[in-house]
């Protein structure tokens, strides 16, 4: 199955028209066709169906898979995957994201985690498919306001934070102590 280029943005898109992203933000994604067959089969098992079309997505910071999927029965999903032997830190982040996304309570305005696949090397997450696009760069004020409103709503909904099981330790992002002492 070949890759289909993303449809061009329409003027009615609420998120505007994103500019091309730098190469370090996921523009070197692996394609669905380049994914090991066992991983693709694991994603299809999570979905309970067969992928008919895959469209790679930009954004993010790994060279792993990030793809919108259309199944033969018409359902859609979003999947991302990484070879954790080649990118151990990204694999840790994916495993932690599985735990976090799985712990989100109902009503949180975030794509629902449909399931995951982890064979010890490859880690894949499968989410419900939602419409949208990355915000334009540089930010446009209406988009920024929408994101800030959503973050405020998430803070209200997720306080207190839900208990998160799974990953033994969270990946370290670093820099927080320095930021706390020098805002």
17 in a domain, yes or no? no
Separation between Cα atoms, residue 173 and residue 64, nearest integer Å: 19
Domain hosting residue 118, numbered range: 26-172
Q: What is the pLDDT of residues 142-173, one digit of tens each?
A: 999 999 999 999 998 898 888 887 545 555 55
Q: 33: domain CATH number?
A: 3.30.200.20
Q: Say how many domains are in the chain.
A: 1
> Any residues with CB less than 8 A from the CB of 171 and at least 6 apart, and which?
89, 92, 93, 96
* Mean pLDDT, the chain, integer: 82
105 or 123: which leads in pLDDT: 123
């Amino acid at each position: 199955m070949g890759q289909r280029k993303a449809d061009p943005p329409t003027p009615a898109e609420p998120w505007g028209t994103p500019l091309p992203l730098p190469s370090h933000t996921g523009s070197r994604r692996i394609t669905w066709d380049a994914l090991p067959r066992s991983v693709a089969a694991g994603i299809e098992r999570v979905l309970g169906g067969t992928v008919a079309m895959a469209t790679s997505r930009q954004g993010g910071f790994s060279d792993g898979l990030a793809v919108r999927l259309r199944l033969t029965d018409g359902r859609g999903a979003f999947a991302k995957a990484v070879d954790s032997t080649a990118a151990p830190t990204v694999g840790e982040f994916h495993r932690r994201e599985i735990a976090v996304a799985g712990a989100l309570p109902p009503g949180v305005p975030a794509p629902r985690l449909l399931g995951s696949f982890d064979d010890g090397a490859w880690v894949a997450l499968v989410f419900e498919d939602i419409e949208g696009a990355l915000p334009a760069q540089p930010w446009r004020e209406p988009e920024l306001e929408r994101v800030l409103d959503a973050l405020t709503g998430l803070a209200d909904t997720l306080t207190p934070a839900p208990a998160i099981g799974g990953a033994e330790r969270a990946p370290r992002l670093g820099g927080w102590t320095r930021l706390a002492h020098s805002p």
